[in-house]
Chains A and B, each alone.
Chain A
Amino acid sequence: MSGGTREDGNHDQAHTDEAALSARLRRLGEGLGQARGRAVEPSDDTGGDRATTASGYAKGFRLSSELVGGVLVGAGLGWGIDRLLGISPWGFIVFLLLGFAAGVLNVMRSAGVAPGAKPDSGPSAGRKQ
C-alpha cells in the first residue's frame, strides 16, 4: 500500500502524512489532557482546601468549644457537689465522665450527626426502637 501511494505521487504522500500527523496530534492531545488532568486534580484539591480552610477552621473552633464546654461544666458541677456534700472525689469523677458524655453529645449535635433536641428527635429516636 505504501508503495502504491509512493507511486501515486506527492498528493497521497501528503495525505498519509497528514493522517499520521493528526493521529500523533490526537495522541499528544490525549497525553496532554491526561497530564493536565493529573496536574489539575491535585491543584484543584488544594484550591478547594484553601477555600474551605476558613469554614473548616470555624467548624473546628465550634466543635472544640462544644466538647470543652461539656467537660468544663461536668468538672465544675462535680467539684461543687464534692464541696457541698463532702464526698470528694466521687462527685468529680462521676460528673467529669458525664460531662465528657455531654460534650460528645454536643459535638455530635453540632455536627448534625446525632438527632438533637430538635423536631426530628422524636421520630428518628422512635425509628431506632
Chain B
Amino acid sequence: MTVDPIHQFAIQDIAPLFTVGGKHFAFTNSALYMFIIVILVSALMIAATIPRAIVPGRLQSAAEMSYEFVANTVRSSAGTEGMKFFPFVFTLFMFVLFANMIGLIPYSFTVTSQLIVTATLALAVFFIVVIYGFWRNGLKFLKLFVPKGVPVYILPAIVVIEILSFMSRPISHSVRLFANMLAGHITLQVFAGFIIMLAGFGVVGWFGAALPFILVVMLIALEFLVAFLQAYVFAILTCIYLNDAIHPGH
C-alpha cells in the first residue's frame, strides 16, 4: 500500500461553469473551501455579536479576543493611523487562520497550500501599499527607496537594490505561508503513510507502527501551532508593509 502525499493538494472540478477562449472555468474544491471559510468566519462574527452582552459568552469572547488580538497587532506595528486598515488586516487574518485550521481536519482541502491563493493575497497587500502610498504621500513615497546617510556615489546601486527588495516582498510574503502549509501537510501524510505500511507487516509491524503514530500525534500539535503562527505572521507582515505606505522614508 503506497500513499501519495501530493494527492491531497489536487484541484478537482465540482461543477463546470463556463469556457473562455478554450480555458475551462469550474467551481473547484478550492473555491468550495473558500466559501466555507468565508461563511464560517461570517457566522462566527455575526452569531457572536448578536447577544451584545456586557459579560460576553463563549462565542462573543472568542470574537472579542480575535478583534483585540488583531487590533493590537495593527496598532503596534502600523500605529494608530494604521487602524483604518484594520478591516482589511482582520479579514486577511481570519481568512488565513480559518483556511489553515480547516486544512488540518482530515480529508479536507487546505486553501493556503495553493501558491496562487497566497500569492493573490500577498499581491493584494502589495498593490494596496503601492497605491495608498502614492495616494497619501505623492512622490514622497519614493523616499522609501532612498535610505538616509548613504554616500552619493553608491546611491544609484542602493536605490536599485532597495526597489528589488521592495518588489520581492510579495514573493517572500506568499511563499512563506504556502511553503509552511505545503511542507507540514506533506510531512503529516508521509508519516501517516508509514503507519499504514508498517501495520501491513503483521504483528511486529503493529509495534513498529506505534512510532510514526506517536510522531504524527506530535506533528499534529505542531501543525496547529504553525497554522496559527503563519496566520499571525501573514497579518503582522501586512501591517509592517502598510506602515511603509503610511510613513515612508523616516
Measuring CB to CB, which residues of chain A are less than 8 angstroms from any residue of chain B? 54, 58, 61-62, 65-66, 68-70, 72-74, 77, 95, 98-99, 101-103, 105-106, 109, 117-119, 121-122, 125-126, 128-129
Contact = CB atoms under 8 A, between A and B. Distances in A.
Given A102-B164, A122-B149, A69 B250 contact: no
A73 B160 CA distance: 12
Interface stretch (B21-29, B85-93, B172-180, B201-209): B172-180
Contacts of A69: 168-169, 171-172, 175
B148 interface: yes
A125 to B, nearest CB: 3
A77 B147 CA distance: 22
A73 B250 contact: no
| Max count, chain A CB within 10 A of own CB: residue among B157, B175, B244 | B175
A106 to B, nearest CB: 5
Interface of B: 144, 147-151, 157, 160-162, 164-165, 167-169, 171-172, 175-176, 179-180, 222, 225-226, 229, 233, 244, 249-250
A70 B168 contact: yes
B164 A98 contact: yes
A106 B168 contact: yes
A62 B226 CA distance: 13
Please provide the 10 A-B residue pairs with the shortest distance between their CB atoms, ordered closest to farther: A125-B149, A69-B171, A102-B164, A69-B168, A69-B172, A102-B165, A73-B168, A65-B172, A122-B148, A70-B168
Contacts of A126: 148-149
30 contacts: A54-B222, A54-B225, A58-B226, A58-B229, A58-B233, A65-B172, A65-B179, A68-B172, A69-B169, A69-B172, A70-B165, A72-B171, A74-B164, A74-B168, A98-B164, A99-B164, A101-B157, A101-B164, A102-B165, A103-B165, A103-B168, A106-B168, A109-B165, A117-B144, A117-B250, A121-B148, A122-B149, A122-B250, A126-B148, A129-B151
A74 B250 CA distance: 26
A61 B161 contact: no
A35 B229 CA distance: 40
Contacts of A103: 165, 168
Nearest to B244: A117
A61 B151 CA distance: 34
A121 B176 contact: no
Contacts of A118: 250
A41 to B, nearest CB: 25
Contacts of A65: 171-172, 175-176, 179
Given A66-B172, A122-B149, A61 B179 contact: yes
Contacts of B250: 117-119, 121-122
Contacts of B157: 98, 101
A102 B168 contact: yes
B216 to A, nearest CB: 16
Nearest to A70: B168
A105 B244 contact: no
A107 to B, nearest CB: 10
A99 B163 CA distance: 10
